[in-house]
Amino acid sequence: MKVYTKNEFYSKKSILLKKIKGGSVFIYPTDTIYGIGCDARNFESVKKIYELKETRNMPFSVIAPSKKWIIENCDIDSLAESWLKKLPGPYTIILRLKNKKCISKNVILNKSTLGIRIPKHWISEIVKELGFSLVTTSANKTGHPFMTTIKNLDSDIKEKVDFVIYEGEKENRPSTIIDLSKDNIRISER
């Protein structure tokens, strides 16, 4: 497993984007905490993240490449439109999914909803350039503390990811969840 700084990532960007397109599982920074992800359309890569997190029953969220992607693939009403205006930002917005073919079926585990992020962070430009969504979930085993620095990244995860993009310690909390999939809005801090 190789650790890249932001500058190192950009100097090797074309190679690393090919790796992501080819199924790499990697850790990356966001505006909140470090995430672990992959091409959300790649069933085997998504399966590997479930194994790394030691969970089988928790659907994942995605970083969307654009608001246009969200509108094309999710049910958007006036309330969802108002929340989309807050993106990019530290929110995971849960919406009803209308195009289940935009992601691998194991991302949502037979649910009809999808959590969506567009972080206020340079990683969103990378996802936009890729043109497809990335799985986004905290870089930790389920139930364990999330990664804030390379020093507290679980050694099992560290050994099994393809690479890490590291930009120093994160002192934030996970994103706020805005559940718009039901009749009444639910907001929860993690």
Show me where the domains of the chain are located: 2-188
Q: Each residue of 154-177: pLDDT tens digit?
A: 999 999 999 999 999 999 889 999
- Distance of alpha carbon 65 from its chain centroid, rounded? 11
Residue with tokens 């992959």: 38
Query: Angle of helix 13-21 relative to helix 123-130, nearest 10 degrees?
Result: 60
Q: Is the pLDDT of residue 185 over 90?
A: no
26-29 β-sheet, strand order? 2-4, 163-165, 26-29, 34-37, 134-138, 61-63, 113-117, 91-96, 176-179, 186-188
Q: What is the pTM of this model?
A: 0.95
- The class level of CATH for 2-188 reads alpha beta
Q: Could you report the per-residue pLDDT of 16-74, keeping only the tens digit for each?
A: 999 999 999 999 999 999 999 999 999 999 999 999 999 988 999 999 999 999 999 99
Tokens describing residue 135: 């799985």
